[in-house]
Amino acid sequence: MTTGAQLLDIARCFQLEGTPMQVDNLGDGFINDTYIIRLSDSSVKYILQRKNTNIFKDIPGMMNNIQAITVHLKKKIAAAGGDPMREALTVVPAKDGRLFYEHEGEYWCVTVFIDNSVSYDKADTPLLAERGGRGIGRFQAMLSDFDQPLTDTLPGFHNIRFRYGQWDDTLARDPEHRAASVRGLIDEIESRRSEMLDFYRLIETGRIPLRVTHNDTKIANMLFDHDGNVLCVLDLDTVLKAPCLYDFGDSIRSYTNTGAEDDPNTDNVSMSRGMYDAFLRGYLSEAGSFLTDIERQYLPFSARYITYEQVLRFLMDYIDGDKYYKVKYPEHNLVRTRAQLKLLQSIERQLF
């Protein structure tokens, strides 16, 4: 636990426009710890994050990525007559000029808080899903000519071959002796293995191209304006060279779910076809100009692929003893697994 006084000390290490007065918890991301910094002498607010070093092994590399990407986005936004301070994240350096502050092996980073915006855990109308699709399509389009090298912040992130390596190892170790109790769920993973590898081969062989993509496009990772348009894409930790299908697939996993990602009542969970069509429409309005035929062809499969991968990741973490995702109660990863499997089955029924 980091105390309020310690958080204030950390906030003071950054180049803020005033004096930090208070630091409070914000949101509940699964990976990093997020806080809001308020100043005593200015209305500007900041986001302070403790990056998760269990997961991200090269935070300086990650922050260099985020800096380069946001600078690129801001140029595009300004050229289009937008507001670069509100439509892209702004990284605030530490007083020593670095893009992070390191203290006792922990890495802290600050960005400017974007006020007067709306965030959602769930898409409540098809119009919002359409706007979300347009926002991610535009994000990818703005980065389509980004040509600087990017650090691979999370090697193997959506690589199902890599995930099977982790999976096989976790099942072999079974450190908490949980595997026997989830045999049916393990079978759900295994029964789809060869189809998932067939898809992944299209990426390995270069038939599906790599682009600069976000890789974690759930609705909670975008800010909307009061008219329901995407204002700013957040959480740039996993911007990588990857197929743009991963962004589409992860968005469908999030925007179309009629229940919660961790819904304890799986009756609530299904894919809304109306939300799917709306998101697709919005996405194609921006991405349609650069997608190749094979990318277009595999858009529906990407929803299946990413949702399947999420089932695998939640179940693997449960079997592993809950080491990756933050959990709120002992069986949380298992509840997440069941809810995401229900969503996967609904996607499979409706799109295939």
For ligand GN1, the binding residue among 64, 238, 251, 270 (CB under 6 A) is 238
Give the pair of three-digit tokens for residue 335: 């509840």
Choose between 31 and 208: whose C-beta lies nearer to Mg ion.
31
Least distance to Mg ion from the beta carbon of 330, Å?
23
Backbone φ and ψ of 38, nearest 5°? -110, 145
Which residues, listed in sequence order, are joined to residue 112 by a DSSP beta bridge?
46
Choose between 20 and 65: whose C-beta lies nearer to ligand GN1.
65
Q: By three-state DSSP, how is residue 47 classified?
A: strand
Backbone φ and ψ of 212, nearest 5°? -90, 115
Give the pair of three-digit tokens for residue 73: 């986005």
Q: CB under 5 to 8 A by kind: which of ligand GN1, Mg ion, none does 218 bind?
A: ligand GN1
Choose between 106 and 188: whose C-beta lies nearer to Mg ion.
106
Choose between 13 and 185: whose C-beta lies nearer to ligand GN1.
185
CB-CB contact of 139 with 290 (8 Å): no
Q: By three-state DSSP, how is residue 212 classified?
A: strand
Q: CB under 5 to 8 A by kind: which of ligand GN1, Mg ion, none does 93 bind?
A: none
Backbone φ and ψ of 253, nearest 5°? -55, -35
For ligand GN1, the binding residue among 140, 221, 251, 257 (CB under 6 A) is 221
In whole angstroms, what is the distance from residue 152 CA to residue 227 CA? 35
For the chain, the maximum distance between any two Cα atoms, rounded to a whole number of angstroms, is: 59
Choose between 221 and 272: whose C-beta lies nearer to ligand GN1.
221
Give the footprint of ligand GN1 on residues 77-116 (CB under 6 A): none
- Sketch the per residue contact string, 292 through 321, with ligand GN1: x for CB under 6 A, - otherwise: ------------------x-----------
Give the pair of three-digit tokens for residue 332: 């949380």
For ligand GN1, the binding residue among 76, 218, 332, 342 (CB under 6 A) is 218
Q: CB under 5 to 8 A by kind: which of Mg ion, ligand GN1, none does 310 bind?
A: ligand GN1
CB-CB contact of 317 with 323 (8 Å): yes
Helix H or strand E encompassing 206: none
SS3 helix, strand, coil % of the chain, rounded to 5? 50, 15, 40
The contact set with Mg ion (CB under 5 A) reads 216, 235, 237
- Sketch the per residue contact string, 5 through 44, with ligand GN1: x for CB under 6 A, - otherwise: ------------------------xxx-------------
User: Residue 127 is which amino acid?
Assistant: L
Least distance to ligand GN1 from the beta carbon of 154, Å?
6
Least distance to ligand GN1 from the beta carbon of 163, Å?
11
CB-CB contact of 121 with 215 (8 Å): no
Q: Which residues bind ligand GN1 (CB under 6 A)?
A: 29-31, 55, 216, 218, 221, 235, 238, 261, 310
